[in-house]
Structure 1
Amino acid sequence: MAPHRQPSSLFQMCIESSISLINVACQSIEKQYPEPKFRHCEQEVYELKCQLMTLLPARLFDVLCSKRTCRLYRGDPRIQLHALTHPNLTYFRKCETDNAISQSFWISTLSTFKRLVVLDLRFICTDEILEVISQNCPLLEDINIVSKVDVCKSLFNASVLIRNVSDAGLCFVTNLKHLRILSMDPPRNERANRIGRCVSQAGIIMCISKLPYLEELRIESCDIGSTLISSTIDIGPLSLRKINCHFASADGIRKLLKICPFLRELSITHLSEFSKDLILEQICMSEARLYRLDLSFFSYTESMQQLFSVKGSYLTHFSLWEIDHSMTLDAIICLGRCCPNLNTLCLMTQSNSLVIPKYFQRPGKIFSELRNLTIGNDHFCMHDILTFFLECTYNMQKLVLKYQRQTRIDETLLHLLEKGHLRNLNSLWLDCTFVVSKNVVKKIIQMCDKLQVFTVDIVVEMMEIIQYIKDNNLDLRFGTY
């Protein structure tokens, strides 16, 4: 049976109770004024804060701030924030109710946080706020500066989105020398710069080249690798450990690996047909010790096999989206032998050559460390391939199955259950193309003792399954499409 829902711990109940009591106290202060304004309440809220600081340890304020959404505050969010924050706060992430708070409040508040290590200001950050942070938060290691966005009505075009973080703000970020993780807006072109503030590729390169410990740059829909490769200035070595690169060339990958000698995670996609093998050869010849490699729209070739032979012992995560029908059983066995430490595998293939012979003898000690498996898309027997992988390891924890045509999978799931291959699963995601009966869904819930996340297309009987989970008090997040 899936694990039962456990009662809240004493610590969790204390946190929720504390937030509830603090909210009541803040609301009582607000009600004393016919038209509550923050400056009228500030002194009394400060006295409440001083009392809390006397009664509670400083580190508890990190938890209170991170859990404040568990008891939604109905009044002015500045009142609650003023009471729950502490000068020694090390961790702060804003919530949705904070988006409407004025810049002046954040400037005055953040200037008192001298010990912050993690700070999330997404959708409220501005250049002015970054200036204050750079002067007052020298210990920051993780920051989200995704910009506040304003909407400007245009006489000629539709509404224009104006951002509030520019290259000037990135200059302030360069003062945060302990920064390891930076989340920010994607770069904009010159036309966007004429409309309002924005960051540019040159600004991003300037920023990361001045942050000696930066390991990860998180920019949505941005080709970070190509941004570095296309730079006309001499940069590096950088401390970046995670890079995504689209439209890469062999020379570009060689340059990228030289710029980022500590690279550990690399994602490559959207390539010309003539550059794929050359790119793999560059990775193979480099000194990079990648533990994660994601390849999209590649083929399984001799170059890839050579890459596994040379670099496979370092890999713990590998993802391949194969498009040229090149994946075979021999290729999978080679992958397993060359990558003995692989614990996460994503294999998407259209290959019709992926067939397991009837009397096939599975080699020993391949994929024995596999914990997370994602497999799809079509042209192979899901029963045979899935059984092959699950017979290699008895420690599978997360399983994601994708397919492009409707397929009944009851028999396969029952076979795997009876063999005990699913007993350690804590997450199971089945594509909506898989037809699964209500009885098999129940049997999975009953026989997988660690299952906590289960997604399957079973719309008609969904309420019955949800009621079954509720009646048995199971700690299982069950979903459908």
Structure 2
Amino acid sequence: MSPRKQPSTLFKICIKNCIDLINSACYVIEKSCPENMFHDCERQAFELKYYLMSMLPVRLFDILCSERTCCQYRGDPRVQLHVLTHPNMTVFRKCDLDNSIPQRFWVETLSNFSRLIVLDLKFICTDEILQVIGMNCPLLEEINIVSRVNICKSLFNASVLIRNVSDNGLCSIANLKHLRVLAMDPPRNERANRVGRCVSQAGIIMLVNELPYLEELKIESCDIGSTLISTVMDIGPLSLRKINCHFASAEGIKKLIKICPFLRELSVTHLSEHNKDAILEQISLSELRLNRLDLSFFSYTDSMQQLLANKGNYLTHFSLWEIDHSLTLDAVLSIGYCCPNLNSLCLMTQSKCLTIPRYFRRPKNIFTELRSLTLGNENFNIDHILTFFLDCTQFLEKLVLKYQTKTNLDDTLLHLLQKGSFSNMNYLWLDCTLDVSKEVLKQVVKTCEKLQMLTVAITDEMTDVQRYISENNLDLKLGGY
């Protein structure tokens, strides 16, 4: 049976009670001071902070501040923040309530945080705030500077998003030489030149070139690889460990590898029919020791086989979105032999050639380390393929099944449950095309002792399963679509 919900630890109870008491005290202070006496309110908040600091360890304030959302504050969040922040804190992550706080508060407050290691200012960041951070937070290793966004009406009565971080802001943090992880806005497009402040590709290139230890650059919906490849500046070698690259070319990948020789995670999406093999050959011939390789819109060719033969021993995660019906059982076996250390595998394919012969004898010592498996197809026999993989490993913890044809999965699940194949499963995601009866779902819940996340197509009958989970106090989240 899925694990039962456990009571909160004594530490969590103490943290929640502390925040409750602090919130109550802050609210009393706030309500006792009229709006035109905010400075007096600030003074009382600081007195409460110093009183707490005389009794509590400084490091506890980091935890209290990060957990403040467990008890929502009813008043002005600035009062609560005045009490829960301190000059020696190392981690600060904003919450949704902070989005309405004026910029002036952040400029004044962040100037005191000289020991910060992690800072999350998503949706509140501006150039002015970055200027303060650049001057006062030299130890930062991780930062989120996704811009505050203002919404206004244009002359044509349409909503326009105005961002507040530009290349000037990026220049301000270029001296934060310890940065390892950076999340930020995407570069502007042609229209965005007329809409407020925006960062540019040149600004991003300048910044990454100034940060010697930057390992991860997080820019939503941005092709970071192509951004680096397209620059005319002489950059690199960079310390980046993760890169996504769309619309790649063989020469572009070759240049990218030269710019980022320490890559550990590479994602390549390729849509051209002409030089996919040349891209694979560039990766295969390089000195890269990739732990994770994601390939989308590729075929399983001799070049793919050669790449895995050369680099598969380093891979712990491999993802292939295959086209051209090139994925066969022999190809799957080759992946298993070439990548003995895989703990995560994703195979998305439309291949009609992936079949398991009736009297096939499963080879030993392939896929033995798998912990996470994602399979997607509309043509293979899901019972045969799933049984093949689950017979290879006894340690699978996460299973995602994506199928495009309406299929009943009851018999397959019952067969695998009886074999004990789900003994370590804690995450099971079944596509909405996969029909599972409430009786079999109950059997899954009863049999899988570690299952904590189950996603299926929820029907009216599933209320019985939800009631069963609730009545037995199970620590299991049942989700739908």
Taking structure 2 as the reference length, what is the TM-score of the superposition? 0.99
Amino acid corresponding to residue 395 of structure 2 in structure 1: N
Match of 2:415 in 1: 415
**Alpha-carbon distance between aligned partners in 2 of 1:281 and 1:234, rounded to the nearest angstrom:** 24
**Alpha-carbon distance between aligned partners in 2 of 1:331 and 1:217, rounded to the nearest angstrom:** 33
Match of 1:78 in 2: 78
* Identity over aligned pairs, percent: 69
Where do 1:53-452 residues align within 5 Å? 53-156=53-156, 158-452=158-452
Which is further off, 14-23 or 187-196?
187-196
**Over aligned residues, Cα RMSD in angstroms?**
1.0
**Alpha-carbon distance between aligned partners in 1 of 2:443 and 2:434, rounded to the nearest angstrom:** 16
8 Å Cα contact 1:438-1:458 kept in structure 2:
no
8 Å Cα contact 2:387-2:416 kept in structure 1:
yes
Unaligned runs of 5+ in 2: none
**Alpha-carbon distance between aligned partners in 1 of 2:291 and 2:59, rounded to the nearest angstrom:** 34
Q: Could you list the per-position Cα deviations for residues 75-128 of structure 1 after superposition, in whole angstroms to 9, with x for gaps in the alignment?
A: 000001111111111111101100000000001111111111111001000000
CA deviation after TM superposition for structure 1 residue 37, in Å: 5.5
CA deviation after TM superposition for structure 1 residue 160, in Å: 1.6
8 Å Cα contact 1:437-1:458 kept in structure 2:
no
User: What secondary structure sits across from 1:313 in the alignment?
Assistant: coil
**Alpha-carbon distance between aligned partners in 2 of 1:173 and 1:157, rounded to the nearest angstrom:** 36
Match of 2:26 in 1: 26
User: What secondary structure sits across from 1:7 in the alignment?
Assistant: coil
Amino acid corresponding to residue 120 of structure 1 in structure 2: D
Amino acid corresponding to residue 236 of structure 2 in structure 1: G
Amino acid corresponding to residue 164 of structure 1 in structure 2: N
CA deviation after TM superposition for structure 1 residue 192, in Å: 1.6
**Alpha-carbon distance between aligned partners in 2 of 1:61 and 1:374, rounded to the nearest angstrom:** 41
Q: Could you list the per-position Cα deviations for residues 183-240 of structure 1 after superposition, in whole angstroms to 9, with x for gaps in the alignment?
A: 0000003542232100000000000000000000000000000000000011100000
**Alpha-carbon distance between aligned partners in 1 of 2:461 and 2:374, rounded to the nearest angstrom:** 26
**Alpha-carbon distance between aligned partners in 2 of 1:441 and 1:38, rounded to the nearest angstrom:** 57
Which is further off, 99-108 or 449-458?
449-458
8 Å Cα contact 1:150-1:161 kept in structure 2:
yes
**Alpha-carbon distance between aligned partners in 1 of 2:164 and 2:70, rounded to the nearest angstrom:** 30
**Alpha-carbon distance between aligned partners in 1 of 2:374 and 2:349, rounded to the nearest angstrom:** 11
**Alpha-carbon distance between aligned partners in 2 of 1:328 and 1:393, rounded to the nearest angstrom:** 20
**Alpha-carbon distance between aligned partners in 2 of 1:166 and 1:399, rounded to the nearest angstrom:** 42
Q: How many residues align?
A: 481
8 Å Cα contact 2:270-2:276 kept in structure 1:
no
Q: Could you list the per-position Cα deviations for residues 56-82 of structure 1 after superposition, in whole angstroms to 9, with x for gaps in the alignment?
A: 111111111111010000000000111
Taking structure 1 as the reference length, what is the TM-score of the superposition? 0.99
User: 4+ residue runs of structure 1 moved beyond 2 angstroms?
Assistant: 33-40
User: What secondary structure sits across from 1:99 in the alignment?
Assistant: helix
User: What secondary structure sits across from 2:100 in the alignment?
Assistant: coil
User: What secondary structure sits across from 1:138 in the alignment?
Assistant: coil
